[in-house]
Amino acid sequence: MRVVVEGVWPELDAGRFPIKRVVGEDVWIEADVFADGHDMVAAALRFRSSSDGEWREVRMADAGNDRWRGCFDVAEIVEHAYTVVGWIDRFETWRRDLRKKVDAGVDVAVDLLVGAELMKAAARRAEGEDRERLRAAAKTLGGKDETAGLRVAFDEGLRELASAYPDRRNQGAFERELRVNVDRPRARFSSWYELFPRSASPEAGRHGTFDDVIARLPYVQELGFDVLYLPPIHPIAHERRKGKNNAPTSKPGDPGSPWAIGAAEGGHTAIHPDLGTLEDFARLIAAAAERDIEIALDIAFQCTPEHPWVREHPEWFKHRPDGSIQHAENPPKVYQDIYPLDFETKDPKDRRALWEALRDVFLFWCERDVRMFRVDNPHTKPFPFWEWTIAEVRAAYPDAIFLAEAFTRPKVMYRLAKLGFTQSYTYFTWKNTKQDLTDYLTELTRTGAVEFFRPNFWPNTPDILHEYLQTGGRPAFAVRLVLAGTLASNYGIYGPAFELMEHAPIQPGSEEYLNSEKYEIRHWDLERADSLAPLVARVNRIRRENPALQEMRSLRFHGIGNDQMIAYSKRTEDRSNVIVVIANLDPKHARSGWTDLALDELGFGAAEAYEVEDLLTGAVYTWRGASNFVQLDPAAGEPAHVFRVGPRRSGSAAAATRAKQAVPA
């Protein structure tokens, strides 16, 4: 074949894994398409969905240097395939050469006859009115009126018509079909709120219930979250139960850790009796849905000594030489209340039965209208298991979403994403300097990772209280909230610990909370005057109202003359929504600096005046050019600016905006 098609992008691991998109997104594809000699080539992007199987095509545009570009959209939650083909464009080659000869004053009588033959061939490939138009063009080109022939040859309408019926003999094609995994929109844009149901009781000392969580839904809705994530809701063992602050032995009344799953009442498909029943859980699902909130469940594949599987399937656990079952440990940490599952059990039948049982846990909750799962420590389970399980679940429930709680090595995190996890926890919690944030976000948004890895940023979790939050006070919580909510399109907080600024570690140098909710029931005063709830609600409202913040591909960093300040922007493709965020990373001191904005990214000229409206406070400023002065004082409740950037408005409009009330940070 004369035409070569290579360098198709995006392509993951030579087509081993699909890229990721959500319903309604355009899938832009690029490829190198070229041939020997001087003939011009054309290229087409071929695509199909797994639901209909019929290939469709769109012509690709020449992007220069033999690079071609085209796109298609994905309209349903099914896997799509794509590839690229190319061919010699004989009509376009003839037309180019004809123009050169006309411009040089060379006789073109024979060339017009060649064009007539090309039109006749195209007519044979066409039907109906198009065929007649091509035949008429061929007749004119083959006639004696050279002026009329040239007019037809360079007619743009004929050019478009002829390109629709090309000669695709000896067509070249990319050697592989590549795939797109399509999710629903919440896979790309979501706001998560984590709470422990047992701590949802309005009465101190009483174990919370699903009814208490239902009563908490208006609060979650007012905060602006669309996903309510619950730690494990299953029975907790009594044997080897952990006590307060992870004490190795419990005292009467200690509730134990929700991740110690399994007791006489059941295992991963049972509900802790103090929370309620499956019927109560169904009411919670329905009540949340009425507020456009989804319930996400924690799936932790581990068992207590009292889990029914320990008795029913001892072959699913690793036994030590003395016959006892191996408990979990991560020296110096020891988890006597947890038995890990043995994915390397020797008998293939036992291994298959284990895989199916774990898959069926997901299916059990899917059947009860749960479609979002936070998966605990997936990196400690085999890669092939996750690829198979997620594919099985999505075959039955294509709208299922899986969040990987994988605080592990980068390549392992990326592999889990390629295998099917929809979103992933990240290192954001530990990225607190300007350089660290810039480097990390550049990796996530400007490399191939953007095609398959969807970050979910969490400033805190029940397991992680970073030193920045321990020592930075209220400004630290405020700025980390703004960063998480504007840098990432998916983010979450562990509350009410976050909005109530829980910051005491169990000991210096530890990231564990003092009086951790993992081991005891906490009572939270949601009406506290210093709560960050108003700021949380404002950030989530800003996210909902500004499409630029609902994706990550457009993220660009801008210069600002202070190492303790960071500036970045996001925008929609048509620049109808442009957001610029400037944050003070120092929670203890006021910082200032002059911006160095890339105005071409924002859609403004070097000398053009434009307005920036701070969506956190309502203040409006008129800026001009790339360099503008910014000062942020955390002591004055100014952790950051979230600017919506637009053309300069009238004075009355600006004044009206300035009159808005600020939300305290």
Instruction: Provide DSSP, 232-251.
Output: --S-B-STT---GGG-SS--
Euclidean distance between CA atoms 562 and 557, whole angstroms:
14
Question: Phi and psi dihedrals of 103, rounded to 5?
Answer: -65, -25
Spatial separation of the C-alpha atoms in residues 356 and 165, rounded to whole Å: 52
How far, in Å, are 214, 232, 240, 328, 431 from residue 376 at the CA level?
A: 25, 10, 21, 14, 22
Residue whose C-alpha is closest to residue 618's, from 576, 581, 568, 655:
655
**Cα(96)–Cα(107) distance, rounded to whole angstroms?**
15
d(CA 435, CA 347) in angstroms, rounded, equals 50
End-to-end CA distance of the chain: 65
Distance CA 232, CA 262 (A): 11
Distance of CA 91 to the CA centre of its chain: 43
Closest CA to 490 of 75, 201, 73, 193: 193
Peptide bond into 10 cis (omega under 30): yes
CA distance 183 to 567: 31
The dihedrals phi and psi of 578, each to the nearest 5 degrees, come to -125, 125
Alpha-carbon distances of 55 from 30, 46, 76, 80, 87, rounded to whole Å: 18, 6, 16, 10, 17
- Closest-CA residue to 176 (of 404, 338, 296, 16): 16
Angle at 102 between CA 97 and CA 105, to 5 degrees: 125
Confirm if 422 and 402 have CB atoms less than 8 A apart.
yes
Catalytic residue among 376, 520, 551, 638: 376
Residue pair 259/376 in contact by the 8 Å Cβ criterion: yes
439 is catalytic: no
The first and second tokens of residue 459, run together, are 């400033």
Specify whether 376 is catalytic: yes
- The residue from 11, 25, 298, 405 that is catalytic is 405
Q: Exposed, middle or buried: residue 567 (CB in 10 Å: 0-12, 13-18, 19+)?
A: buried
Alpha carbons 353 and 343: distance in angstroms, whole number: 11
Q: In Å, how far are 267, 299, 365 from 362, measured between CA atoms?
A: 13, 8, 5
**Residues known to be catalytic:** 376, 405
